[in-house]
Structure 1
Amino acid sequence: MESLDLLEEKLKDKGIRLTKQRKTILEVLLASNRPLSAQDIFTKIEAMNPKLRLSTVYRNLNSFQEVNIVRALNLKGKEKKFELIDEGHHHHHLLCIECDNIMPLSCPLKEFENKLKNETGYTILDHRMKIYGLCPKCKEK
């Protein structure tokens, strides 16, 4: 997992200053174990920084996305979710269709990706997988 210092260094390398607002947004993302919407992030920091606007959260998330600090995910519904890009840990997502719980999953596809590469000659650049189901709590209902 990335640290705030590493993220600050990445931003600095891209010519982006780590303002108080950007730092707070990154701290919320670092503390989360699941992707968050801009509204989720805004709700978490609104009390700490009442002058912050939702549009500012969106603007910063878009800036972070442009410099490969965060990734936007279309998991379920129309609302984008954002997560930090952890270059050392590629993962996928398991989503509950009832409560919208999102669980990161380690990637099981490395061997398959190598097989595809060898069989087709393609250079595999990326892949995404979403698995939908019912979490244990929703399954009990």
Structure 2
Amino acid sequence: MQTAPHHPVAIHMQPHDGKESDAPPYPYARAATGPQPKDYVLWSLFSFSFLNACCLGFAALVFSIKSRDRKVVGDPEGATTYGKTSKCLNIAALIVSVIILIIFIIILITFAAAFQAQMQEMMKKRH
């Protein structure tokens, strides 16, 4: 049985000052300099699940995810822009869904009243 040749491993034990030029910037490691931009992901998930009129909830979810991605990358301006777009789409989805719901209820009540009137007229003709 052959064994692999033994190669020594060199470990450089020098102090680390954190100022390496080739080190990638990690936005999650930086200190918070202010309030983080909102991405409205939970509201967008709710809109996508329950208020997806005209696919506005889906569009809001897409922009929320883009906003979160921009936040992770360290682009607060882009995250704010996408977040505002997501908020507007969530509001539009809510308004359109409420209007559709109100129209549906009005139509339902109208049909129920017409059906009741027909039933009463049929009962009068029977007697």
Between Structure 1 and Structure 2, the one with more strand by share is: 1
Q: Same fold (TM over 0.5)?
A: no
TM-score (norm 1): 0.19
Structure of higher CA gyration radius: 2
TM-score (norm 2): 0.21
Structure 1 or 2: larger helix share?
A: 2
